[in-house]
Chain A
């Protein structure tokens, strides 16, 4: 059969893939060949980077794009992509006996040197196991003595313990430098004929590397961890990597998918890290300190990438874009570029206390009309508890500014189940939304429609709330009912996250290695795409937990003692555990901690431990 799919080597699967493509939904998920897709023509050290979800979600991931271009910029190395095949494709592949393949050369993943999997969140764990299995590799790292090194990274490494034993190696923190050293190590190993075990030993010594197999976890009789012991001769405590953004390559040729991806736009990263100190936010803690890209570089990237992609939207992304030290300047220059190129500009993660009228005017001019804000909690007391002290007048001003600039839809994110939350705090969500609507009316403007999205608070590792109990499913359901009965207005659309999904996510978020058996059992009973409501099956998780004698309440509903050993304590993200505990105690008293960019050092420990400091490159965009 004549085959057009790229298939450079004799090991390519393109010919076998072609008939399958005609039987699945959206075959373009598996063909590759998009704009800017890397053209792989030679071997060398081969890397395949995987996102454990469907193509449309994975292709938008900025981290993997960065790593792919970093590797493809190296001599004698290449990086390709793979994603979780959708359920129809998986069943075709399994029936045809076809292993997981890369999109660029359609080679089996098992033939690569490095199989990198990003860990985006807990509900992708079953997909991660599925990727390893589809690649034809034994699931557990300890059972693998051949094939690629299975390496993990990404924000899920904050507590990778439930799936740690399935990875040969994990890397903490920024991945740019780490992947270069890893590829160099593997290349040296290939050149010198090292065994897989020797290569793994050498790679485990690299900065930021964490080899789960080097650690032995022990437990108390009541189930709590008693300790995590490092194997003799293993590398020191795994400590996260940090890079200077301006010194590292930013993807100059982002892939433009044929289909509409979840983030169907050009992403330019303004900065990494955030020191606002929201106590629920894991990224805000683990990505510290703030490291900005220079303003001139941001503007240059927007121009360059607009040419390279043809996208009609540019997003200046970060954990809190309006906190970028020269946001007004950069937004104004980028808005000008957009005006000439028939593009719109968007800023995700807008903070209501830094939304100025000027910025509102620049955003997404004449665009689709929606803006999203995250007050998180409806009462000032509760916002103080989470250390996100935005006043109601600031919120009203942000909404009024946005509506004045033509916004017709405002999305507001809230959380329920926060520590110290009362029923009144939940009822107040309705009160706040109505007051914001009235504030718009008071300005003689037509109120926008409000989409109120309410998620369930899940305590995460390396945050001040890591000691908290998570609200149980009945409490969450009751609070959702309070919301439902209190928020009844035609212009308000209320949605909330599935409380069952939050239960599973919460259990895994602070889980230990014993939960690996649970994930594996749920996966083997058919669980895939757990973050998709149509695929998530709560009973499957609970049945498996019961069968294995695992009590979800132990992980969810138990407030941890102040001296509890956490499964992630041996992973160093620079944060001082004492600081997190102080923050937790301050939270219970609704006390605030200021952002170290504006006030004195809060003592989180990151700068001291990692020998770094916040990088605020507030230089003029033209200089």
Chain B
């Protein structure tokens, strides 16, 4: 597969994670994308013989159960392959729920996508029983009025309090139009190199403010609509970034949460 003397390149692909694929853990999803590259015959670079040594960079993990139209992977390539051909091959090599949306070739010195992304946008569709738009817009207003929203994050090894408010950049009630009866929330959250706020954490706090029971709001459907690198006030897609390391902007920082 390797072709000596080939120009090193990086192939950035935007994938979906929908349908059954939403039940894949991050490690299962990354394994799936690596197998897809092998099945597609992409000239991928390895650091050893095993697939686990494939040189890839992935966008921040998506919690199990959340769908997405915007997951990113960088594959290091050892030979040139046109982006359109790579996309077509991946399309044929993938399984249901995961689809390559767009592909782009970058120089090998481009900053890997895993070190670019710091912001995510989510759409949350609440079930109709979760209350009216009025209940939730009140909760949203109260959330945004606060300077700090302490949240106790329970993790397998430690429990700590994080400030959700710092990581919530926008929080709005969206128009759901004809797609259902329940309320639709839109949110822009810290996600990636600067630390991560999970959409369920925000929903849980809002539900508390709107006095909605857990067994109701837990049935909400959450969808990641985009992943971005923040450049000042602007959110830039990784597909528009990554020409060289210098274009990467803010770089890696310690997580806030």
Contact = CB atoms under 8 A, between A and B. Distances in A.
Interface of A: 1-2, 4-5, 19, 21-22, 26-28, 31-35, 256, 258-260, 307, 309-313, 340-344, 365-368
19 contacts: A2-B221, A4-B19, A19-B219, A28-B24, A28-B28, A33-B96, A34-B95, A258-B31, A259-B25, A310-B38, A311-B38, A312-B51, A341-B1, A342-B2, A342-B46, A344-B49, A366-B48, A367-B49, A367-B50
A35 B28 contact: no
A26 B25 contact: yes
A259 B18 CA distance: 17
B95 A35 contact: yes
Given A28-B28, A260-B31, A310 B93 contact: yes
A402 B32 CA distance: 33
A343 B96 CA distance: 25
Contact of A4 (B20, B24, B39): B20
A366 B24 CA distance: 31
A256 B51 CA distance: 14
Given A258-B28, A258-B31, A33 B20 contact: yes
A342 B49 contact: yes
Given A258-B32, A259-B27, 4 more contacts: A4-B19, A258-B24, A260-B31, A312-B38
B50 A33 contact: no
A256 B35 contact: yes
B208 interface: no
Contacts of A28: 20, 23-25, 28
Nearest to B39: A310
Given A35-B95, A259-B31, A21 B49 contact: no
B49 A22 contact: no
B52 to A, nearest CB: 8
B61 interface: no
Interface residues of B, number: 32
Interface in B16-49: 18-20, 22-25, 27-29, 31-32, 35-36, 38-39, 46, 48-49
A33 B49 contact: no
Tell me if A's interface is mostly helix, strand, loop or mixed: loop
A208 B95 CA distance: 38
B255 interface: no
- For A4, A31, A35, A258, which residue has the most chain B Cβ atoms within 10 angstroms? A258
A35 B35 contact: yes
B65 interface: yes
B65 A21 contact: yes
B26 to A, nearest CB: 11
A95 B2 CA distance: 53
Nearest to A2: B221
Given A4-B18, A28-B25, A368 B95 contact: no
B138 interface: no
A221 to B, nearest CB: 57
A412 to B, nearest CB: 24
Contacts of A4: 18-20, 22, 97
A22 B219 CA distance: 10
B64 interface: yes
A5 B65 CA distance: 13
A368 B27 CA distance: 20
Nearest to A6: B20
A340 B35 contact: no
Interface of B: 1-2, 18-20, 22-25, 27-29, 31-32, 35-36, 38-39, 46, 48-51, 64-65, 93, 95-97, 218-219, 221
A370 B46 CA distance: 20
B33 to A, nearest CB: 11
B56 to A, nearest CB: 14
B20 A31 contact: yes
A343 B49 CA distance: 7
A312 B50 contact: yes
Contacts of B24: 28, 258
- For A22, A309, A344, which residue has the most chain B Cβ atoms within 10 angstroms? A22
Contacts of A368: 50
A515 B36 CA distance: 48
A259 B65 contact: no
A365 B48 CA distance: 11
Given A28-B25, A258-B32, A342-B49, A5 B20 contact: yes
Given A26-B25, A28-B28, A259-B31, A344 B97 contact: no
- For B19, B36, B46, B49, which residue has the most chain A Cβ atoms within 10 angstroms? B49
Contacts of A313: 50
B190 to A, nearest CB: 23
Contacts of B28: 28, 258-259
Contacts of A34: 95
A33 B38 contact: no
B43 to A, nearest CB: 10
A309 B219 CA distance: 35
Contacts of B32: 258
B81 to A, nearest CB: 15
A9 B96 CA distance: 20
A422 B19 CA distance: 60
Given A4-B19, A19-B219, A28-B24, A310 B35 contact: yes
A596 B133 CA distance: 81
Nearest to A343: B49
B63 to A, nearest CB: 10
A31 B28 CA distance: 13
Given A259-B28, A344-B49, A27 B1 contact: no
A474 B205 CA distance: 58
A312 B49 contact: yes
B49 A365 contact: yes
B245 to A, nearest CB: 28
Nearest to A27: B23
A68 B36 CA distance: 24
The 7 nearest A-B residue pairs measured at CB: A310-B39, A4-B19, A27-B23, A312-B51, A310-B38, A310-B35, A33-B20
Nearest to A26: B25
Contacts of A312: 38, 49-51
Contacts of A2: 221
A27 B64 contact: yes
B174 to A, nearest CB: 18
B34 to A, nearest CB: 8
Contacts of B22: 4
A21 B29 CA distance: 16
A312 B31 CA distance: 12
Nearest to B65: A22
Nearest to B2: A342
B36 A310 contact: yes
Given A28-B23, A342-B46, A33 B95 contact: yes
Contacts of A35: 35, 39, 95
A27 B21 CA distance: 10
Contacts of A307: 39
Contacts of B50: 312-313, 344, 367-368
- For A259, A312, A344, which residue has the most chain B Cβ atoms within 10 angstroms? A312
B144 to A, nearest CB: 28
B214 to A, nearest CB: 12
A39 to B, nearest CB: 10
Contact of B23 (A21, A256, A340, A342): A21
Contacts of A27: 23, 64-65
Contacts of B31: 258-260
A4 B95 CA distance: 13
Contacts of B36: 310
